[in-house]
């Protein structure tokens, strides 16, 4: 595969055309975000290498996602199991080193497919789901890294365990169910100062001995990096606006 020619190798060994202008555009966007991460990390006296950029392919055309692959991006996030199932088995067959994160709500009836498809589940948010994940991972012989989603704004319409219940839920997932809990994830309320929520998540992680913080999206990832994010989830700033039609 070649970013210069914008060509990938298909399953039959033949070229799959990807617009080279699109590859350059996506590559430039990724570079811009990485430079912003470096700047924010530097201001916080952090190592920028400690921050992983997750490219969010939610509702994005497959050509844009493949352009990111051709540009060298290898860590991706998807919100829905079915959407991931429609494109990532093919991409994985043609691109090495992909790491796929589930960053959207997970229904228990999709757990089997999620464990098959993903490398990381970032949205463990309730006991029933945690139990189903533990059961399915044991069945498949896979130990996926898990993040506990914390609803830092305690919004009724949003998934996640409440901050007050986070410690007990983390202990249940880790100690009773044997899940590999590596960190926490949050999505702050849009009208709030995200730094307050990032600070809250950081404190919950600190007292539970968790190293990873998935926080920050296209509009606030620099603040998240300054507050200690180890993973930022960026979609539109890489791929452009989503077309939900």
Q: What is the pLDDT along the chain (245 residues), one digit of tens a residue?
A: 443 334 444 444 444 578 999 999 999 999 999 999 999 999 999 999 999 999 999 989 999 999 999 999 999 999 999 999 999 999 999 999 999 999 999 999 999 999 999 999 999 999 999 999 999 999 999 999 999 999 999 999 899 999 999 999 999 999 999 999 999 999 999 999 999 999 999 999 999 999 999 999 999 999 999 999 999 999 999 999 877 55
pLDDT of the residue at 18: 86
Structure tokens, 106: 């997970």
- Of the candidates 129, 22, 141, the one whose C-alpha atom is nearest the C-alpha of residue 81 is 129
Residues across the chain: 245
Specify the pTM: 0.91
Q: Domain ranges for the chain, please list them.
A: 18-239
Reading the block at residue 42, the tokens are: 């530097």
Query: ∠ at Cα 123 (120, 124), nearest 5°?
Result: 95
Report the CATH fold assignment for 18-239: TIM Barrel (3.20.20)
233 has which bridge partners? 54
Q: What is the pLDDT of residue 242?
A: 74
Residue-level pLDDT at 12: 47
- Model pLDDT, residue 244: 59
Question: Quick one: pLDDT at residue 17?
Answer: 77
Cα separation, 86 vs 167, in Å, equals 36
42 in Cβ contact with 222 (< 8 Å): no
DSSP the chain: -BTTTTEEE-TTSSEEE--HHHHHHHHHHHHHHHHHHHHHHHHTT--GGG-EEEEE-TT--HHHHHHHHHTT--EEEES-HHHHHHHHHHHHHHSTT-EEEE-S---GGGHHHHHHH-SEEEEE-SHHHHHHHHHHHHHHT---EEEEEB-TT--TTS-SB-HHHHHHHHHIIIIIS--EEEEEE----TTS-HHHHHHHHHHHHHHTT--EEE---TTTHHHHHHTT-SEEEESHHHH------
């Amino acid at each position: 595969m070649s970013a210069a020619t914008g060509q990938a190798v298909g399953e039959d060994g033949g070229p799959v055309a990807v617009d080279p202008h699109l590859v350059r555009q996506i590559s430039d966007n990724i570079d811009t975000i990485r430079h912003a991460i470096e700047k924010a990390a530097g201001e916080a006296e952090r190592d920028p290498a400690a921050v992983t950029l997750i490219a969010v392919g939610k509702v994005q055309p497959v050509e844009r996602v493949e352009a990111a692959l051709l540009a060298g991006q290898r860590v991706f996030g998807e919100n829905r199991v079915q959407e991931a199932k429609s494109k990532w088995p093919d991409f994985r067959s043609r691109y090495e080193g992909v790491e796929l994160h589930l960053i959207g709500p997970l229904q228990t009836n999709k757990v089997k497919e999620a464990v098959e498809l993903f490398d990381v589940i970032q949205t463990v948010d309730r006991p029933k789901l945690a139990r189903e994940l533990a059961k399915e991972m044991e069945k498949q012989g896979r130990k996926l890294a898990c993040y506990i989603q914390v609803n830092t704004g305690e919004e009724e319409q949003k998934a996640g365990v409440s901050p007050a219940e986070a410690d007990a839920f983390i202990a249940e997932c880790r100690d009773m169910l044997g899940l590999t809990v590596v960190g926490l994830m949050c999505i702050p309320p849009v009208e709030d100062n995200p730094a307050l929520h990032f600070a809250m998540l950081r404190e919950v992680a600190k007292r539970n001995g968790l190293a990873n913080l998935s926080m920050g999206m296209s509009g606030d990832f620099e603040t998240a990096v300054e507050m200690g994010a180890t993973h930022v989830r960026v979609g539109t700033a890489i791929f452009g606006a989503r077309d939900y039609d």
